[in-house]
Amino acid sequence: MQSLSSENQTILKQDYRYFDFKPVTVGYWAKPYIDVASDLHFLNKSRYSDFQSDMTWENVAEIVYYTLEETEFLEDSAFSEQTAQAYGDLQSATEREQKFIAEALVKGIMQGYPNGYIGVGDKVTRAEALAVLNRLTDKTKRIKVAAPKGSLQLSLPTEGGGQKTVIFPDQRMRDVYDVLKQAGQLRGTNQDLLA
């Protein structure tokens, strides 16, 4: 609840105060949850005509993207897209879907297959969906995305226990970070420079 924007906290406190999330005997069992996710802007009900059908990796990435946008922060889009280019089938997704997939990949919530593909167009299994949900809700389970050696990119811890990739404008600024970190360790305080 604390990770939501104040607007969405108000929506939940007012509109869902006395909401009963028990399974319904009539209609689709997930409708109340879909309604809440839609009201919180985690998903767009108009984009999906059937919530009972299988979802593709692109669909999952879109929901992950909007959830991250609301509950955390988004990475630098240039960094995300550059990182995602390593996957062979990324270009078969639309530009919009590529943005969603790239963010989910750099956040360590989605991961590609060993064959170097993401699985654009493939259906997500229940086990894969659970793994994605687990990583989305528990930052310690996320896959660490390493920056190339000698890169101006650095993955830093955040206050919430997650990771954020920072791209330094030049090597001098990257070196300054290392000096500040080293000075903090010598002083015994501020050892973690959080992003």
Q: How far apart are CA 73 and CA 107, in angstroms?
A: 10
Q: Dihedral of the CA atoms 169, 174, 177, 183 (nearest 10)?
A: -150
List the end-to-end C-alpha distance of the chain, in Å, as a whole number. Answer: 22
Q: Tell me the domain boundaries of the chain.
A: 6-141, 153-187
Per-residue confidence in pLDDT tens, the chain, 195 aa: 777 778 877 878 777 777 776 766 677 888 888 888 888 888 877 777 777 788 999 999 999 999 998 888 888 787 788 878 888 888 899 999 999 999 999 899 998 888 888 999 999 999 999 999 999 988 889 988 765 555 677 777 777 666 777 777 777 887 888 888 888 777 765 555 565
The reported pTM is 0.68
| Residue of 95, 47, 41 whose CA lies nearest to 69 | 41
Cα within 13 Å of Cα(150), Cβ side: 0
Identify the bridge partners of residue 157 per DSSP, sorted by sequence position. Answer: 163
